[in-house]
Amino acid sequence: MKKLLLHKVQQSFQTEIPLPSSKSESNRALIINALAKGHDNLSNLAEARDTQTMMRLLASNDPIADVIDAGTTMRFLTAYYAVTGQIKTMTGTPRMCERPIGILVDALRELGAQIDYVKTEGYPPLQLNGFDFKGNNRLAIRGDVSSQYISALLMVAPLLPEGLTLEITGELGSKPYIEMTLKQMEAFGVQAQADWDAKTITVAPQAYNPIQYAVESDWSGASYWFSVVALSDNADASLELLGLKENSLQGDSVVTDIMSHLGVKSEYTGRGFKLTKIEPATSLEWDFTNCPDLAQTICVVAAAKNIPLTLTGIESLKVKETDRIMALQNELIKFGATLKEVETNHKYQLTPAAAERQVVPVSVHTYDDHRMAMAFAPLALVEDVVIEEPDVVVKSYPSFWNHLSKIVTIE
């Protein structure tokens, strides 16, 4: 599929969306279950390509592990293969080979992993050549590039002969993802001690228990349905998102709070969340340090609803599936909105209706990034829009277009 044309439809909607499972929780459950030597214990695993790739690679004896474009799969498997002493070449898409991994490699080398860079220092591909424990049980690790390095180390920490204490240096981004890791480790019987003030996490040597584990629905994927309700011009539009938990392990459940300022009320129904429309705020300032994957969703809604938005905590967006800040700037301006860094301390300002906009239908370039496609698609509630390379959604949400076709005409 090269592109999709999404047509605005006039009628209101009251429907249900059977959300997919979380790829973040699935990929942690798969690594931990493998370390616990569990069999067929996991249910509700994500259909996301990132998770299907993790399953395929965990089951494979091939010496080459190609993670495609899955960040968690690359980082979690690197730590898993390294500490279990496997000989593997870790590789991925050209973009994956531009996403930094030196912080994790340095940490694993300090523990005793033999890892070589195949091409460029600090980046995949990697050659893993076994593990020879060096007696280290304490590491300093930067927290400001990706929390995935920390999650990767924590999950393998109980296998290390002396356990591991991580001292997190610098700013810590994406902290809820580390908390998710610790809670899933705990579910499989491994205790860790986190002291968030001292920024240390300690895991003693322990064994995981193979338990039955069911993965929750995906709050990051849910965010696009909040956008659909926010952008509908029918006051009685509503959606019920099935499978979401009230007390989720996922930090992106904060979307309920953010979207309450952008015109969406959400209520727990016992089987998910029901979304309805409310009056939005006239401007919004939000720190995305703990929920970077929501930034694109929120930018598009603010632009379309003419709500000026100040964003902080979005530096990590530059090293994700694409440089998401650049991608947002390029695509938002097609709709007349600008996104500019306003201060040297990484504060960004989104100004709706600041530039001349393109004629309808605008064609949105998606930069090999599932979240660009899904964040911009709800604009179809406002005007006709073209989404280029729509298959990118398979990374986290393969059934996205099928679900959207309940509300929007797609050709």
Ligand X SMILES: O=C(O)C1=C[C@@H](OP(=O)(O)O)[C@@H](O)[C@H](O)C1
Ligand Y SMILES: C=C(OP(=O)(O)O)C(=O)O
The two structure tokens encoding residue 333 = 């301006």
Could you tell me which stretch among 68-76, 103-111, 246-254, 346-354 binds ligand Y (CB under 6 A)? 68-76
As a whole number of angstroms, the distance between CA 255 and CA 217 comes to: 14
Q: How near is the Cβ of 274 to ligand Y at its closest, in Å?
A: 25
CB of 346 or CB of 406, closer to ligand X: 346
Report what 396 binds from ligand Y, ligand X, none; CB cut-off 5-8 Å by kind.
Answer: ligand Y
Residue 72 near ligand Y by CB under 6 A: yes
| CA 207 from centre of chain | 28
* Shortest separation between residue 283's beta carbon and ligand X, angstroms: 26
Interacting residues with ligand X (CB under 6 A): 24, 72, 146-148, 151, 173-174, 177, 292-293, 316
Based on the residue annotation, tell me whether 195 is a catalytic residue of this protein: no
CA 367 from centroid of its chain's CA atoms: 16
**Where in 364-403 is the site for ligand Y (CB under 6 A)?**
371, 396
CB of 173 to ligand X, least distance (A): 5
Distance CA 127, CA 123 (A): 11
Q: Which of 66, 69, 218, 293 is catalytic?
A: 293
CA–CA distance, 42 with 45 (Å, rounded to integer): 7
Q: Output DSSP code: residue 281.
A: P
Helix (H, G, I), strand (E, B) or coil at 279: coil
Please name the residue that has the structure tokens 């696009």.
224
Beta bridge partners of 15: 239
> Least distance in Å: CB of 279 to ligand X?
31
Q: Are strands 409-410 and 284-287 parallel, antiparallel or unpaired?
A: unpaired
Between residues 31 and 237, which has the closer beta carbon with respect to ligand Y? 31
Binding to ligand Y in span 264-323, by CB under 6 A: 293, 320-321
- Residues near ligand Y (CB under 6 A), total: 8
With CB under 6 A as the contact rule, which of the stretches 70-78, 131-139, 179-187, 356-364 interacts with ligand Y? 70-78
End-to-end distance of the chain based on CA atoms, in angstroms? 11
Q: Which does 174 bind (CB under 5 to 8 A by kind): ligand Y, ligand X, none?
A: ligand X
DSSP output for 62-79: -SEEE-TT-HHHHHHHHH
Q: Was 147 annotated as part of a binding site? A: yes
CB of 405 to ligand Y, least distance (A): 23
What counts of helices (H) and strands (E) characterise the chain?
Answer: 12, 22
Name the residues annotated as catalytic: 293
Residues at the binding site are 23-24, 28, 71, 99, 146-148, 174, 293, 320, 324, 371, 395
